[in-house]
């Protein structure tokens, strides 16, 4: 669509006005520490803010810096991660910390092009980290931002492609204060979803999350949780605990071993060191 300067200006006034009256408060918004921002951005992937809030503070208390996280064991990291789901993200955070310490002297790069080379950091997360940690006017889309731009500029459309949104996001980003501009967009996106139907459903990229109950993801999480609790278990111990899924359990255990979550020695399983 053609970018109308007057419409853009009105949109920005509206978003800032909404934010000034309705801004949400989160502990990760009260820091510019790149480490704290990375932790929050990885935690917030696919997880709602109310679930992240308590776990974030606990995690930050346990691992206060990239250095401390890098020096910790994967067992300790996954233990602290329990309750958030998607254990892979906890493993990614550990790997990110190791890479920051070993390759960047403990200093997180402020370049999206470099950040996308880190485990678990895609283009959108790389750009969001740069916006929130370094106040750089990067351009990215996440679910709440997508909702805002579809509702504001494509209200009568369906099947809206992110490629249509990106020029608008780039045209509206506040180059002096991109950090708070993106907070404002996200807060308005949350408001839109609470108000009624989710505008993101009009996106070409909208997908319904698959059922968690009975999924491989649920079983993976259960196995990790058991190993965090008991430290070691035999393969037979695990299959006995899931008698109706024993064949799937064996396959999932092998996947966890291949992915570096778990080690197996003499048929005994434990979290990888």
Residues with a catalytic annotation lie at: 41
State the distance between the two ends of the chain, measured CA to CA, in whole angstroms.
52
Spatial separation of the C-alpha atoms in residues 52 and 27, rounded to whole Å: 11
Q: Which residue has the tokens 């909208």?
A: 206
Instruction: Give just the sign of the alpha carbon dihedral 114, 117, 118, 120.
Output: positive
DSSP string computed for 28-97: GGG---HHHHHHHHHHTTTS-HHHHHHHHHHHHHH--SHHHHHHS-HHHHHHHHTTS--HHHHHHHHHHH
Q: Measure the CA dihedral 126/130/132/137, to 10°.
A: -110
Spatial separation of the C-alpha atoms in residues 218 and 223, rounded to whole Å: 9
Residues 6+ apart with CB under 8 A from 209: none
Spatial separation of the C-alpha atoms in residues 178 and 76, rounded to whole Å: 35
Spatial separation of the C-alpha atoms in residues 203 and 131, rounded to whole Å: 24
Bridge partner list, 160: 203
């Amino acid at each position: 669509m053609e970018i109308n300067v007057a419409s853009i200006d009105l949109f920005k006034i509206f978003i800032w006005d909404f934010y000034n009256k309705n801004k949400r408060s989160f502990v990760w918004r009260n820091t510019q520490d790149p480490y704290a921002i990375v932790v929050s951005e990885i935690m917030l992937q696919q997880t709602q803010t109310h679930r992240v809030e308590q776990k974030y503070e606990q995690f930050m208390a346990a691992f206060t810096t990239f250095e401390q996280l890098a020096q910790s064991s994967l067992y300790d990291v996954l233990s602290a991660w329990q309750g958030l789901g998607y254990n892979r993200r906890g493993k990614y955070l550990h790997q990110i910390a190791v890479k920051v310490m070993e390759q960047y002297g403990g200093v997180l790069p402020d370049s999206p092009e470099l950040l996308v080379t880190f485990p678990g950091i895609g283009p959108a997360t790389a750009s969001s980290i740069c916006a929130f940690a370094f106040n750089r006017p990067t351009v990215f889309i996440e679910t709440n931002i997508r909702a805002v731009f579809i509702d504001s500029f494509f209200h009568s459309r369906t099947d809206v492609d992110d490629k249509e949104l990106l020029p608008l996001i780039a045209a509206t980003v506040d180059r002096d204060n991109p950090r708070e501009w993106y907070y404002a967009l996200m807060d308005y996106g949350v408001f839109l979803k609470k108000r009624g139907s989710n505008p993101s459903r009009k996106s070409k990229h909208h997908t319904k999350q698959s059922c968690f109950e009975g999924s491989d993801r649920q079983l993976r999480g259960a196995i990790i949780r058991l190993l965090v609790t008991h430290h070691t278990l035999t393969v037979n111990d695990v299959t006995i605990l899931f008698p109706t899924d024993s064949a799937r359990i064996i396959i999932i255990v092998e996947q966890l071993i291949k992915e570096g979550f778990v080690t197996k020695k003499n048929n005994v399983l434990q979290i990888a060191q």
